[in-house]
Structure 1
Amino acid sequence: MDNKKKIFVSAGEYSGSMYVSGVLKSVKQNYPDLILEGIGGTELKKIGVNTIYNSDDWGSIGIVEALKRWKLIWINLKVQKYLEESKPDLIILVDYPGFNMHLARKAKKLGIPSIYVFPPRKFCVDASRLTDAVNNIKRVAAEFQPTFDCYKEAGACVDFVGHPMLDLLPVGDPQALRQDLGFQKKDFIILLMPGSRAQEINLLLPLYEETVQKIYQNKKNLKFVLLGANNFESQENMKSELESIHSNLKKYGVDINLSWENRFNLMQVADLALVTSGTATMELTVYGVPMVICYKVSKLTEVLAVFFNKLPKYIGLPNLLANEMIISEFIQEEANSENLSKEILKLVDDDKKRAQLKKQLLEVKEKMGSKGALARIETMIVEELGLKS
């Protein structure tokens, strides 16, 4: 290349950084002269992206919680100014629409082509925001079939690339993995996945503890694994919260481990999961793991959501993709230890129901497309940069 091409990427949450890093790593290997910079977390740093802002702790849930991130408004304005000065050849936006749509509009004004990876699904029920996205984003890389259909109908230049999860999630032999992880064939394993955002941990971790205690009061022979998100290893306060809950439950008599590693291997051996709504629900879907979904935001956020008619039909991604309630969801007041423990115990005792859920989840998985998403997104990037393949 005569002139080095520059890509600016904006990934506002840990999961976005993780998945887009797989694409950019391959792009950089094939085109080593490319300059990669932008906003992202540790996963993007690992592959050599010059991150001008670290977004690992940007995740926010709910209206009020998002308002607490007022500093992001200032950062967004700084980034827009940076785009004016640096003039990248391409901007890649990953999810996080409240932040990234401002950058999309700015890029359009500056004549910078943009690719939106993981386009906001919620725009599909908001005509004005969907039109805004179509008018300001050059190309869209949709990970789900329903999202592709929605953006296509609205007139977007959209490719159904599928979900990178299918490329990146390892697949092994569950029985061999059980042995490697120290479990026996007869063990009933329940994963506890409280989330990757600080707000989620603060709101939901005490609920997880109470729920496990209630389950233990009824069944003593279950094995639990509390799964810590990798981005919390560098956040000591969040790490200590999980370690404290783990210690408390151990003292209570619960057979529980705390794991920061083997995330996907543990999913493959799990019989059931209690999970906070988010990306983890789709990871469990890929492996066909029956689950119970819970979610909480502040009371004021709930009131505002009702007032502004922002309550979704479903919160769990598997249910959204299926367009029906196949996985039990417990939100706000319904997300209490009594309800959660009853639902989990019911599933523990019902082999047929768990088998049915597994079948339904694997049907939902079909809407995530096929393997090859990373290569398809890379092709879009190469095309927009005008590089020789």
Structure 2
Amino acid sequence: MTLTSDELIEIRRHLHMIPELAMDEHQTHDYLKQVIASFPQTNLEIKELPELPTALLVLVKGVNPQRNIGYRCDMDALPVDEMNGLSYASKHPHVMHACGHDIHMTVALGILNYFSINQPKDNLVFFFQPAEESKSGGKVAYDLGAFSGQFKVDEFYGLHDNPQLKSGVIGCCNGTLFAGTTEVNIIITGKSGHAAYPHLANDAIVIAANFINQVQTVISRSIDPTKCGVITFGKLQAGVIRNVIAGQARLEGTIRGLTQEMIEFIRQRITEIASGLQKSFNCQITVEYNQGGYFPVENDPTLTKNFIEYMQRQSSVDFVETKPKMTGEDFGYLLNKIPGTMFWLGVESSGALHSHDFLPKENAIKKGADAIVGFLNYRMNMGEK
């Protein structure tokens, strides 16, 4: 018997109680292995990565495989204090599944359970991925060669829950689903001095203010207004006391774009602005970028067309076509290397993603698993590789 809705909800609630941060998902990893061990093992093979010890890959061997289809779900939680008053609330202080990865894992287990009982035509590779929220777990796994040999993946699928969609709704779009993100740090070095003698100093705060003002024109004046990009500096540190001119300032921000080309263009413009201000203010400006694995989630045109058309035809599936979002997801790195599709699963929560009161509706789990099982069976019976 495949897992019932109630059994899936029980699994999800256990996962919800043991949230863990990126690269520290040891309890989660062990619980996943325990659940998977309860499934029929005839066609299953587990692979672990010593260099990424919380990751878990499971191969389901197909009857007559033409391809290896990958399904990815993320495992980590966020440093958020839960305020939902649930009987199954987080038992780990200051950590919560505020992005719904407990839902993601449970849906994946539902799909895996079905195919452990009903042997698929093609090989299926399930990737339980650590460190999506930070530390680029998808990139780390790929760079370690996780998807090689029997565990090679020809095409990848994965979901993200969406509190703004009704429970169980499947949403998707062709092209970019999520933006790519890049962290940017700016270190400005001027010269500190007495507030009464500004001519003897080089005010890093003034330089920072000019830098911020100029960078804000990149989006409004350097980018085609029909295309999308975002630059946000959310943190500025400078100065020690009101009557001392700051000799150093540090800005921390994020760049987001719907294509990698857009992100690289914005990076180039920021570097050029910093170079110009160095000359005009006779200071030193260091620019640091860190993208890691957070590339744009760009859905493969052909695979996504198949996915959307299948979901639209199913009377049991409530499908909506969605618009791109500026949120980031490191599944983008895997889709940059392996063609595939990411999609939404509606969970209808009044609390937003990443918030202390995020509360997804659990009846979405079985609906999501059933829809994806149906699609994978459909995909495996398509003729082309």
TM-score (norm: length of structure 1)? 0.25
The structure, 1 or 2, with the larger RCO (C-alpha pairs under 8 Å, 6+ apart) is: 2
Greater share of strand residues, 1 or 2? Answer: 2
Normalised TM-score (structure 2): 0.25
Larger radius of gyration: 2
